[in-house]
Amino acid sequence: AITSKCDRMIAPCRRLAESMIRNGLPEEKVTLLPHGIPLPEKVPPFPPIVDGGVRFFYVGRICYVKGLHILLEAFHRLDAPRAELHLIGGAATKGERRYEARLRRRYARDPRITWHGKVRPEEVYKMTEKYHVSSSSAFLEAFGLNISEALAMGKPVLATRNGGAEMQMEDGVTGWLVPSNDVEAMRRKMDEIVHTLHGFDTQLATRAVVPIDRHCRALWEIYEQTLIHHNTQTRP
């Protein structure tokens, strides 16, 4: 239906655009436009790191497609007694709640892992001020809101190559990219971060974020151009 009827498809990441083109959508009908987000009122200083005490964190839904079992197992295997992993978010369906319950049971004896549950969206920025590295282990992500929010707060991001992450961050500059569904690759990168990260230039991260107003202006221009083109093509 999309490939045969749409005048313009707006794709938030290259992988989604490439998928639609492979399925028959003409390339000239695809516009690549990453999403924008509301920015925090202020960007806090990057918190100090003491004796390898890097505080990793995740914000989002607790569900299988986010790959949290990969993230948790990688962190659990990490030999870093002072490191922490904080999980912020909740499960929405019965299946997701069972998934969360299994993960909580499996890692209940690791005191470095803290489950915070779901918080209101307006509280996320405040809650993550004291943490260091955002973590995303999704299998496929058209756009990771948690990645953009972390960058907006001046935090580097550890993420899997899941489609959206590559559009939002630069490997080795605003964070680190690892293969998807690879516990050992995630663990090794966490170990590297624990032993080498001592500070971070928050401006590197904030420059990579698209503000919501800029995104809306770009959308408006695309809508106008598409409408003009459509009217020109259909005019008798």
For residue 141, CA distances in Å to 12, 38, 115 come to: 10, 20, 23
For 55-111, the DSSP string reads EEEEES--SGGGTHHHHHHHHHH---TT-EEEEE----SHHHHHHHHHHHHHTTT-T
Taking each helix axis from N to C terminus, what angle separates 68-77 and 94-106, rounded to the nearest 10 degrees? 10
pTM of structure: 0.88
Is pLDDT at 234 greater than 80 in this prediction?
no
Q: What residues have CB less than 8 Å from 58, skipping those under 6 apart? A: 66, 68, 71, 85, 86, 87, 88, 89, 134, 135, 136, 137, 146
Name the band, by pLDDT with cuts 50, 70 and 90, for residue 113. very high
- The per-residue pLDDT for range 64-85, each reduced to its tens digit, is 999 999 999 999 999 999 999 9
49-62: average pLDDT: 95
Per-residue pLDDT at 123: 86
Name the band, by pLDDT with cuts 50, 70 and 90, for residue 173. very high
Per-residue pLDDT at 91: 94
- The per-residue pLDDT for range 89-112, each reduced to its tens digit, is 999 999 999 999 999 999 999 999
**Mean pLDDT of the chain, nearest integer:** 92
- The per-residue pLDDT for range 185-205, each reduced to its tens digit, is 999 999 999 999 999 999 999
- Single out the residue of 212, 217, 218, 214 nearest to residue 40, CA to CA: 212
Per-residue pLDDT at 54: 97
Quote the CA–CA distance of 123 and 142 in Å, as a whole number: 24
Per-residue pLDDT at 235: 63
